[in-house]
Amino acid sequence: MSDLSTIRSEALEAVSAAADLATLEVARVAVLGKKGSVTGLMKTLGAMAPEQRKEFGAKVNELKGEIEAALEARKGTLSSSALAARLASEKIDVSLPVRPEGQGMLHPIGQVMDEVAAIFGEMGFTWADGPDIEDDWHNFTALNIPPDHPARQMQDTFYLPPRADGTPVVLRTHTSPVQARTMLDKSVQKRLADGGSLRIIVPGRTFRIDNDATHTPMFHQVEGLVIDRTTHMGHLKGCLVDFCRAFFEVDDLPLRFRPSYFPFTEPSAEVDIGCSWKDGELRIGAGDSWLEILGSGMVHANVIRNCGLDPAIYQGFAFGMGIDRIAMLKYGIPDLRSFFESDLRWLRHYGFSALEMPSLTGGLGR
């Protein structure tokens, strides 16, 4: 009998002394494992007389139950404190500021394209794209640019080797061929025939043989086109007034429409915005000077016809401007060539956060 109480006190002692789950398992095996002390007592039962076995067996069972309960209770305690220890040691403070990392910046040209798209987007325009390499027909002929026009000269345009069928190929000198391609698109023509309208802007790269302080051989333009049955010059004017005021963020910005000439529009107008100069610094807004910003006009009947539409039914306006130029004006960037030098110090100074998309309501150029 003393055997039982010794086993009992030793087992309970080992259980309560176990400081972690692994030690507790060792204690369990020492008692209830194959060679454990209680298992050993069980094995002695077989050799006993029935009366003795009944009495002793009950006691051993009771002891086994008591130790199992103690093991279970200790296991519960140790598991929850192990969890508590893990929770304490693996705790992270989600309120800590993030570690500073080098952040990329958006180039002012991409930023200005996004700003222009946000403004025209609110007016129902969508963004259209097209190839940088164009055939002579889409770049010139469709746009009513005559064979003797200076833009067609070898010294003004990058000509590439002709296609296998002899088609002359150029680096597009403006984004207008994209508008021509869009008007020629059968699904667009169907939409127009059904009484719908076409409103697109075309931002993109353009190329001309020119390289000095104010011209680079590759530059950026955004052109716009509206075609339907009723759009007139009043719409052109209202649209461009709203655009310039939103883009330059001057609510009462004055605009001046000057008669001009482009082969692809008739009539044509150049658009100036009000400005003033003080101590050699430009201020955009009502003033005593004017700054040329864009070219525009009603799409020439020949262009509408060349693009597969009937000029007796369809009309509309178009405009074009230099993105590099309006970016320089808005953000006070003094040197055109710096746009294309890929100098990271310059980009850190003039670049924009990638996380803030331009929007008319949120402020365009933060």
Minimal distance in Å, beta carbon 176 to ligand 2NL? 4
**Minimal CB distance residue for ligand 2NL:** 320
User: Which residue number, 203 or 322, has a Cβ lying nearer to ligand 2NL?
Assistant: 322
User: Which residue number, 262 or 352, has a Cβ lying nearer to ligand 2NL?
Assistant: 262
User: Which residue number, 37 or 221, has a Cβ lying nearer to ligand 2NL?
Assistant: 221
User: Which residue number, 70 or 336, has a Cβ lying nearer to ligand 2NL?
Assistant: 336
Q: Which positions touch ligand 2NL (CB under 6 A)? A: 143, 176, 179-180, 221, 223, 225, 262, 264-265, 295-297, 299, 303, 318-322
Minimal distance in Å, beta carbon 251 to ligand 2NL? 25
Minimal distance in Å, beta carbon 322 to ligand 2NL? 5
User: Which residue number, 114 or 223, has a Cβ lying nearer to ligand 2NL?
Assistant: 223
Minimal distance in Å, beta carbon 153 to ligand 2NL? 18
User: Which residue number, 108 or 295, has a Cβ lying nearer to ligand 2NL?
Assistant: 295
3-state secondary structure the chain: CHHHHHHHHHHHHHHHHCCCHHHHHHHHHHHHCCCCHHHHHHHHHHHCCHHHHHHHHHHHHHHHHHHHHHHHHHHHHHHHHHHHHHHHHCCCCCCCCCCCCCCCEECHHHHHHHHHHHHHHHCCCEECCCCCEEEHHHHCHHHCCCCCCHHHCCCCCCEECCCCCCCCEEECCCCHHHHHHHHHCHHHHHHHHCCCCEEEEEEEEEECCCCECCECCEEEEEEEEEEECCCCHHHHHHHHHHHHHHHHCCCCCCEEEEEEEECCEEEEEEEEEEEEEECCEEEECCCCEEEEEEEEEEECHHHHHHCCCCCCCCEEEEEEEEHHHHHHHHHCCCCHHHHHCCCHHHHHHHCEECCCCCECCCECCC
Minimal distance in Å, beta carbon 221 to ligand 2NL? 6
Minimal distance in Å, beta carbon 91 to ligand 2NL? 60
